[in-house]
């Protein structure tokens, strides 16, 4: 009896019977440009980033599909799943908002407007996920509708970009999603610039 108690005590002391501590949540942010730096004037010897200086544009708050919340998402065909321990530092819709703000106001030079008579942009993030098959890639899809000052539709399009994911670690997933998001925002910027036409 005493030998059994001694062995139990030794095992406890060695940590063999103690439960393992729970895994900790990990938080990630896709690599995004600094909005303050993006709005700084371009150097005198460099090409200006602004393509539509002074044109007013109202960007509505970006919405997102209901499943795009804090947990990182994976997809295999029609199956969608979530990583329990990998989370975003912000909602994906906030990342999309920041990317569009940077592209339209920082790089394209549109002026943020609140007047109802200004053209407006409505956007909904429909995909922000890791695709496991048929190839391992990050996919971002943004549905965008642009309206004129009379609420008539100028265009209503879906923009989707994928980027390969270099590895299985969450940092690689976050980086690829950040790249895809900025590419989608750039495509939206091209469409908006084409829609408003020359000054």
Residue 183 has pLDDT above 90, yes or no: yes
**Mean pLDDT, the chain, whole residue set:** 86
| Crossing angle for the helix pair 92-101 and 170-196, to the nearest 10 degrees | 40
* Count, residues in the chain: 199
Residue 40 has pLDDT above 90, yes or no: no
Name the pTM for this structure: 0.80
Could you tell me the domains of the chain?
Answer: 25-196 (3.40.50.10610)
Confidence of residue 37 (pLDDT cuts 50, 70, 90): very low
Supply the pLDDT for residue 197. 74
Residue 39 has pLDDT above 50, yes or no: no
**For the chain, percent of residues with pLDDT exceeding 90:** 72
- Rounded-to-integer distance, Cα 94 and Cα 62, Å: 7
Residue 1 has pLDDT above 80, yes or no: no
- Rounded-to-integer distance, Cα 73 and Cα 28, Å: 13
């Amino acid at each position: 009896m005493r030998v059994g108690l001694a062995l139990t005590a030794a095992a406890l002391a060695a940590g063999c019977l103690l439960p393992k501590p729970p895994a900790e949540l990990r938080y990630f942010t896709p690599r995004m440009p600094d909005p303050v730096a993006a709005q700084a004037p371009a150097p005198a010897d460099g090409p200006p980033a602004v393509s539509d200086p002074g044109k007013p544009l109202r960007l509505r708050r970006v919405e997102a599909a209901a499943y795009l919340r804090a947990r990182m998402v994976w997809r295999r065909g029609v199956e969608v799943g979530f990583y329990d321990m990998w989370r975003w530092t912000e909602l994906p819709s906030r990342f999309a908002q920041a990317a569009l703000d940077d592209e339209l106001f920082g790089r394209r030079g549109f002026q943020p407007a609140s007047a109802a008579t200004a053209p407006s942009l409505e956007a909904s993030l429909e995909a922000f996920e890791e695709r496991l098959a048929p190839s391992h890639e990050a996919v971002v899809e943004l549905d965008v509708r642009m309206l004129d000052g009379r609420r008539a539709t100028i265009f209503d399009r879906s923009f989707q970009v994928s980027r390969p994911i270099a590895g299985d670690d969450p940092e690689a997933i976050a980086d690829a999603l950040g790249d895809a998001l900025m590419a989608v925002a750039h495509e939206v910027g091209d469409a908006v610039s084409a829609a408003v036409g020359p000054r």
